[in-house]
């Protein structure tokens, strides 16, 4: 039986909030809306991939910290995939951040501070993924692999 791993609720909520804020920006007229739609075009498939294999392993951080190991080996294909696809995930981040810089600039020119703040928040989210979440997910795979031996 394959185990399912739920993305931690706080991360899921953050993704949902970012999606909602991006959707609002895509509805703006002119340059702001155009820039936001480009961010959405790049971000949607990236978020889908993250939610498929990069974030679910994080559900095991608490149990692993408590010394639990049962039923965790099903996470290994996800962490192997993250390891293999990490260079492309990081390249996607660079594209997304580039599009966010254009959104930030357009929002500033249009006086839409909320969209400028959103762009900053999403850049920070990408940095958090790169420096904390992706490495933590990979560490989950390493630890599960070691404990399974």
**Domain parsing of the chain, residue ranges:** 9-13+21-148
Please give the pLDDT value at position 74. Answer: 92
Rg for the chain (alpha carbons), in Å?
Answer: 17
Instruction: Name the nearest CA neighbour of 85 among 48, 121, 120.
Output: 48
Please give the pLDDT value at position 2. Answer: 47
Please give the pLDDT value at position 105. Answer: 98
DSSP of 104-138, one letter per residue?
Answer: HHHHHHHT-HHHHHHHHHHHHHHHHIIIIIHHHHH
**Per-residue pLDDT for 17 more than 90?**
yes
Cβ atoms < 10 Å from Cβ of 74: 14
3-class secondary-structure state, position 77: helix
Using the 8-state DSSP alphabet, how is residue 6 labeled? P
- Inter-residue contact 133 to 55 (CB < 8 Å): yes
Q: What is the pLDDT of residues 79-134, one digit of tens each?
A: 999 999 999 999 999 999 999 999 999 999 999 999 999 999 999 999 999 999 99
- Predicted TM-score (pTM) of the model is 0.92
**Per-residue pLDDT for 14 more than 60?**
yes
Element (H, E) at 8: none
């Amino acid at each position: 039986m394959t185990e399912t791993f739920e993305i931690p609720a706080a991360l899921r909520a953050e993704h949902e909030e970012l999606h909602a804020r991006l959707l609002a920006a895509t509805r703006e007229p002119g340059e702001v809306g155009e820039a936001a739609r480009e961010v959405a075009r790049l971000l949607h498939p990236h978020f889908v991939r993250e939610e498929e294999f990069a974030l679910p392993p994080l559900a095991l951080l608490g149990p692993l910290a408590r010394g639990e190991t049962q039923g965790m080996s099903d996470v290994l294909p996800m962490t192997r995939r993250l390891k293999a696809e990490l260079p492309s995930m990081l390249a996607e981040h660079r594209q997304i951040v580039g599009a966010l810089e254009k959104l930030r600039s357009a929002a500033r020119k249009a006086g839409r501070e909320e969209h400028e703040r959103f762009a900053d928040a999403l850049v920070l989210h990408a940095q958090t993924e790169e420096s904390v979440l992706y490495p933590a997910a990979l560490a989950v795979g390493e630890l599960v692999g070691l404990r399974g031996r």
